[in-house]
Structure 1
Amino acid sequence: MMLTKGVEQAICIIVLLATQESNAPLASDEISRRLEVSPSYMKKIMRKLVVKKLVTSVPGTNGGISLAKDLEDIHMLEVIEAMEGPIAIFPDSGLIRKAFENGPHVQKGESLLRQVFRQADGLLIDYFSNITAADLLKESLGTNELPLLDWNKTSLGDYLNQKSGEKK
């Protein structure tokens, strides 16, 4: 099983928004440019995040998007399900019944297989429910204080280079 690129892109959007100055929504065109994704595709991703109430959209000339809730309250499960739908790794299309032509053990086999994959789904759900976007971002940056900048005007690389220059 592999998640789509949309999940990775949604996570990147959350990271951008988490470090965006709170008084300036981030323009979707800027996100599209930074992630090298077409504006129309980016709008589809944004729409899914808006529907799941992970981000809010601000219309207008100075509009854009911003986080709809605290970073600590955004769990990876929400991001994955916004892009992919509920976690269900087994398609259960009934092929077992066809393959074994309704033999004597098909029903038990189907039930057992469904149970195994429901348990696997449950493990994934529990795992991703316990990881927040804040956990990932703070660990990757090695700090509990997230930088705030205006992505409409600068980049995290520029910001970090400036910070390392100040420490010298």
Structure 2
Amino acid sequence: MLMGEGVEWGLHCCLALAWLEDQAPIPTGRLAEIFELPPVYLKKRLQPLVRAGVLASVPGTRGGYRLARAPEDVTLMDVVAAVEGATEAFRCTEIRRRGAGAEAAAGEFARPCGIAGAMRRAELAWRRELASQTLADLLAASPAGAPGRVRRFHERLGG
């Protein structure tokens, strides 16, 4: 399964916003500078997180982004689903019914395909794992110096 870079960008921005929680909303350009990302593209990646209620967008000249919920209330699955969408990674098209399968008795296809079942179980395990981890878990596992580095960088940029 291949996820777009927007997932990584979104998660890192969420962590930075958590570390800067006592600050005013952080503008897109500032978040982009913290990670040396293109601001226009980053803004497009953050908008789905606003729609999903992970981030809050504050309009105006002093506006920007902040977390909309506490870090312990945002799962990694929340971010992945917001950025990538909730569609399943594997979609069975029932090719087993074509070609040689077209000659099979109708009852042979009464049960779901074993391949589709295996793929569904694997995806559910992946989704459960992401849903069991929160931003708070990532914050706790972050290197001790990371929050301070982000804060100092933000301050050097005029924050």
Q: What band does the TM-score fall into relative to the shorter chain? A: 0.7 to 0.9
Cα distance per residue 1:68-127 (max 9 Å; x no partner): 000011111111111111262213234443354524277368532222222112111211
Give the direction of change, closer, same or farther, for the CA distance of 1:154–1:87 in structure 2 (3 Å limit): farther
* Offset at residue 27 of structure 1 (A): 0.9
Q: Once structures 1 and 2 are overlaid, which stretch shifts more, 49-58 or 118-127?
A: 118-127
Aligned to 1:15: 15
Matched length: 153
User: Using the alignment, how far apart are the partners of 1:99 and 1:74 within structure 2?
Assistant: 46
Map of 1:8-157 to 2, 5 A cutoff?
A: 8-86=8-86, 88-98=88-98, 100-104=100-104, 107=109, 111-142=113-144, 149=151, 152-154=154-156
| Structure 2: gaps spanning 5 or more residues | none
User: Using the alignment, how far apart are the partners of 2:71 and 2:29 within structure 1?
Assistant: 22
Report the TM-score, using the length of structure 1 for normalisation: 0.77
Query: Aligned Cα RMSD in Å?
Result: 2.6
Give the direction of change, closer, same or farther, for the CA distance of 1:110–1:71 in structure 2 (3 Å limit): same
Read off the aligned partner of 2:17 and give its amino acid letter. L
Native 8 Å contact 1:20 1:150 kept in 2? no
Question: What is the DSSP-based 3-state SS (H/G/I as helix, E as strand, rest coil) of the residue aligned with 1:57?
Answer: strand
Give the direction of change, closer, same or farther, for the CA distance of 1:154–1:134 in structure 2 (3 Å limit): farther
User: Using the alignment, how far apart are the partners of 2:62 and 2:54 within structure 1?
Assistant: 20
Native 8 Å contact 1:54 1:67 kept in 2? yes
Give the direction of change, closer, same or farther, for the CA distance of 1:95–1:30 in structure 2 (3 Å limit): farther
Native 8 Å contact 1:87 1:125 kept in 2? no
Q: Once structures 1 and 2 are overlaid, which stretch shifts more, 9-18 or 103-112?
A: 103-112
Over the matched positions of the two proteins, sequence identity in percent amounts to: 27
Report the TM-score, using the length of structure 2 for normalisation: 0.81
Give the direction of change, closer, same or farther, for the CA distance of 1:117–1:58 in structure 2 (3 Å limit): same
